[in-house]
Amino acid sequence: IDIYKAAKDSVAYITSTVYQQTFFFEMVPTRALGSGFLISADGRILTNNHVISGSSKIEVRFADGSRYTGKVLVADRADDLAMIQIDPKKKVPFLKLGDSDALQVGQKVLAIGNPFGFSGTLTTGVVSSLGREIRNENSTLEGLVQTDAAINEGNSGGPLLDSQGNVIGINTAILAPSGGNIGIGFAMPINRAKAMLEDFRVGKSFGRPRFGASTVYITGDLAGELKLPAGGGLLIQEVGRGSAAEQAGLKGYRDVVLVGNERLGIGGDFITEIDGKPVTESDALARAIARKRPGDTITVKVFRAGKLLDVAVKLGEVPEEKF
């Protein structure tokens, strides 16, 4: 209750207007609903790129009934993030950004947003999983936080809060084969947005770093059977042609075996440490890359042919994707 009372006035309800051409070549305005949240007293708002993409007009309103016109300051299509600016007549309350790297499965989270136009809606749940990847025909979003807090159409861009009221994610997508919420929602970790904000602050162009290799987390008995270090790590499956991983000399699988009913590529490099930290989770690489920018170097310790090697990988950049 206290968290909702403290946060509700900082949550924005966004209506964007997009003009679409009809079959008869008429331009007709369509309206889309979304959410966002204030991150500064002078009216800067974080949201999803898909909430405001292509808009000719952005209207922002708050719980107290105030309304503003929003202006897009920066849009990151690759991570589906955007920041817009309003011009309030006075200082406005804003939310504190937390640390999404510290999230743990099972911890409580709260979402506030504008589902189906029902503004000021609070839903609660837990972190269901970390490091999720979702795809559609045009794009891939990586390293997402999965939650069972109810997220529906109109929640996009709204804050996912921890039990201290800090923003730890931006509600972005749902898995909805039935057309409604089934308890599987996804949020972009707030640390991804922090990187965008820092680049904007210093005037740098920004992009999403690319490692260029797919991996599978292996530990315990299976690692032992494959003659890999039992402490666990990431077994490289495929290395993208021309990618940062290939240019650094990392190796993909040489053979394929069946583990249960799944195919597993073996014989490739086995990553046991990333930037000096042991690999203990399946999303360790995604988390490490999320703190980097294109052109930065990430150092991985790999097990290859019975030896441990340190390999420096200069990260590439994900090509701009069309949403």
User: Is 50 among the catalytic positions?
Assistant: yes
Least confident of 103-107, 209-213, 233-237, 312-316: 209-213
Give the C-alpha separation, 305 to 299, whole Å. 19
Kindly give, in sequence order, each residue whose CB lies less than 8 Å from that of residue 300, ignoring residues fewer than 6 positions away: 250, 271, 273, 274, 310, 311, 313
Would the pLDDT of 323 be above 50?
no
C-alpha closest to that of 170 among 60, 50, 58: 50
Residue 77: the pLDDT is: 82
Exposure string (b/e) for 240-267, b if CB count within 10 Å is 16 or more?
eeebbbbebebbbbeeeeeeeeeebbbb
Q: What is the pLDDT of residue 207?
A: 66
Residue 180's pLDDT band (boundaries 50, 70, 90)?
low
Smallest Cα–Cα separation from 282: which of 195, 237, 219?
219
Q: Summarize the confidence of residues 230-241 as an average pLDDT.
A: 92
Q: What is the mean pLDDT of the chain?
A: 88
- Residue with more model confidence, 75 or 126: 126
User: Confidence class of residue 139 from pLDDT cuts 50, 70 and 90?
Assistant: low
pTM: 0.71
Residue 240: pLDDT over 80: yes
Residue 156 is among the residues annotated as catalytic for this protein: yes
The confidence score (pLDDT) of residue 299 equals 96
Lowest mean pLDDT among 172-181, 191-200, 312-321: 172-181
> Is residue 128 predicted with pLDDT exceeding 50?
yes
State residue 66's pLDDT score. Answer: 93
Residue-wise pLDDT tens digits, 44-94: 999 999 899 888 889 999 999 999 999 999 888 878 899 999 999 899 999
d(CA 274, CA 101): 15
What is the per-residue pLDDT across 8-44, written as a single tens digit (0 to 9) for each? 999 999 998 765 555 554 545 566 789 999 999 999 9
Write down the pLDDT at residue 140.
Answer: 74
The single residue of 50, 79, 128, 243 carrying the catalytic annotation is: 50
Does residue 314 carry a pLDDT above 90?
A: yes
Give kind and range of the element (H or E) at residue 245.
helix 244-247
Q: 153-167, 172-186, 192-206 — which one is most confidently predicted on average?
A: 153-167
Can you give the pLDDT at residue 162? 97
**From the centroid of its chain, how far is CA 55?**
22
Choosing from 79, 80, 162, 269, the catalytic residue is 80
Q: Is 55 a catalytic residue?
A: no
Would you state the pLDDT for residue 322?
A: 36
**In the beta sheet, which residues pair with residue 297?**
314
**111 neighbors 122 (Cβ within 8 angstroms):** yes
Q: Return the sign of the alpha-carbon dihedral for residues 32, 208, 150, 134.
A: positive
Q: Percent of the chain beyond pLDDT 70?
A: 90
Mean pLDDT throughout 229-248? 93
Per-residue pLDDT at 81: 92
Cβ atoms within 10 Å, residue 20: 10
Helix (H) or strand (E) holding 132: strand 121-135
How many whole angstroms separate alpha carbon 305 and alpha carbon 215? 18
Question: Out of 156, 243, 269, 283, which one is annotated catalytic?
Answer: 156
pLDDT confidence of 321, banded at 50, 70, 90? very low
**pLDDT on residue 28:** 54
